[in-house]
Amino acid sequence: MTIPFLDLGSLHESIRKDLDGAIARVLDSSAFAGGRYVKEFEDAFAAYCGTDYAVGVGNGTEALWLALLALDLPADAEVITVPNTFIATIEAISFAGTTPRFVDIDEATYTMDPKLLEAAVTPKTGAIIPVHLYGQLAEMDPILKIAEKHGVPVIEDASQAHGAMYNGRRAGSIGLAGCFSFYPGKNLGALGEAGAVTTNDPDLAARLRSLRDHGQSRKYHHDAVGWNARMDGIQGSVLSVKLAHLDYWNTLRQEAAAQYDDLLDGTNGIVLPYSRNKHGHVHHLYVIRTSDRDGLAASLSADGISTGIHYPVPIHRTNAYGHLNLANGSFPVTETVSAEILSLPMYPGLSRDQCERVADRIRASVLPAGKPS
Ligand SMILES: *Cc1c(COP(=O)(O)O)cnc(C)c1O
């Protein structure tokens, strides 16, 4: 019996009739590009996040890119984010014509270390993008305080945190804007590519709607140079169906995470994930640390258990960002953990038996004594 890293098939089978119905409604109406089903989803998702607006786009990378473009930053602007994230966060900064500037992460939460943020702010700082990684929000209060002091907008990368909470507020409702990916494997995933930007700012929402649709407010009347970044009608329709299940699915993830926590508690040689608040963490991923990460991954794989690494190469050490000339040692926490983190199977519906098998196998593996570095 193998244990997959993620099981989308069973999840979709559980709501198959509703998904078929959602696709059929779009076929019946021919509202394929944008249109009423996208609008319905935008309204429902904004209400869910607790924001006034949500603007549907083609994917999460476009959500980040268009949110930055909508800020109209000067050409020499810098955008601060973390090197421990999916590369899309940084690509958006590059494609908005701005320069990425990194701050290291906090070792407990793997998100932006607010203690290091202020030193990275310069007169050129145009925006700050904390990334809510693995299902947990970055430490937003101190980040917002520093941002406000310097008059810099905060854009949340909430692509791994649909439904996650921070002091009573949902991911995507805390900064000036929240950027979401609905890539199929995310906590809320489309049946293809999709994304959205949430905000309470009506002007920002209007600029985003224009940017995603060739800068037009009326058909063929173009007020600005935009792009085609509309959400597909089918994705909007399907996402409305799936949104209704998001809280339940997040609860199932939290239950699986609590089982891993229980079963692995006190195991020599591994560090378990830290949750600032058990109810606020939606466990997009369940990430442990061990100094023989590759050995453990191989041992689990030999037993039919799939794992992942998020992410093996810090962004400043990728070939794509070699031109930034950021040597090894620039961001020591990110660099250290990138060699030690391992994502265990995690998805809604992961059973107690499956968690037990994973935990048994981890305990049976040869782990170096003591905590990793
Ligand atoms: C998935 C993801 C993105 C990009 O989303 P796409 O929909 O794949 O373009 C951006 N940031 C983070 C943190 C992500 O996990």
Question: Could you report the per-residue pLDDT of 183-206, keeping only the tens digit for each?
Answer: 999 999 999 999 999 999 999 999
Q: Quote the pLDDT of residue 21.
A: 98
Tokens of 63: 């959500």
Ramachandran assignment for 223, one of left (phi > 0), alpha (psi -120 to 50 degrees), beta (any other): alpha
**Ligand 1 close to Cβ of residue 111 (< 6 A):** no
How confident is residue 340, by pLDDT bands cut at 50, 70 and 90?
A: very high
Give the residue whose CA is nearest to atom 2 of ligand 1: 159
Q: What are phi and psi of 218, to 5 degrees?
A: -125, 150
pLDDT at 367: 65
Strand partners of residue 170: 165
What rounded mean pLDDT belongs to the chain?
A: 96
Q: What is the pLDDT of residues 348-367, one digit of tens each?
A: 999 999 999 999 999 998 66
- What global pTM score does this model have? 0.97
Residue bearing the CA closest to ligand 1, atom 7: 60
| The pLDDT of residue 371 is above 60 | no
Q: Is the pLDDT at 81 greater than 90, yes or no?
A: yes
Where residue 236 falls (left for φ over 0; alpha for ψ -120 to 50; beta otherwise) is alpha
Q: Report the pLDDT averaged over residues 282-306.
A: 97
Residue 217 is predicted with a pLDDT of 83
Kindly state if the Cβ of 286 falls inside 6 Å of ligand 1: no
pLDDT band at 172 (very low <50, low <70, confident <90, very high): very high
Instruction: Enumerate residues 6+ apart whose C-beta is below 8 A from 220.
Output: none
**Residue 373 pLDDT level (bands cut at 50, 70, 90):** low
- 195 pocket-lining for ligand 1 (C-beta < 6 Å): yes
Q: Is the dihedral of CA 159, 162, 168, 169 positive or negative?
A: positive
- Are the CB atoms for 56 and 40 separated by under 8 Å? no
- In this prediction, residues 273-281 reach a mean pLDDT of 94
Percent of the chain with pLDDT over 90: 95
* 88: its two tokens: 């899309």
The Cα–Cα gap between 129 and 94 comes to: 13
d(CA 129, CA 177): 10
Q: Which residue has the tokens 């407990």?
A: 108
The rounded Å distance from CA 88 to ligand 1 centre is 6
pLDDT of 245 higher than 90: yes
| Cβ atoms of 40 and 240 closer than 8 Å | yes
* Minimal-distance CA residue to ligand 1 atom 14: 159
307 lines ligand 1 (CB under 6 A): no
Q: What is the pLDDT of residue 316?
A: 98
| Spatial distance between the Cα atoms of 370 and 373, rounded to a whole number of angstroms | 9
Q: Is the CB of 60 under 6 A from ligand 1?
A: yes
Question: Over 60: is that where the pLDDT of 372 sits?
Answer: no
pLDDT reading at 150 higher than 90: yes
Percent of all residues in the chain with a pLDDT value above 70, rounded to a whole number: 98
CA of 323 to the centre of ligand 1 (A): 23
- The model's pLDDT over 320-338, given as tens digits with 9 standing for 90+, comes to 999 999 999 999 999 999 9
**pLDDT over threshold 60, residue 38:** yes
Q: Is the CB of 81 under 6 A from ligand 1?
A: no
Ligand 1 contact, 86 CB (< 6 A): yes
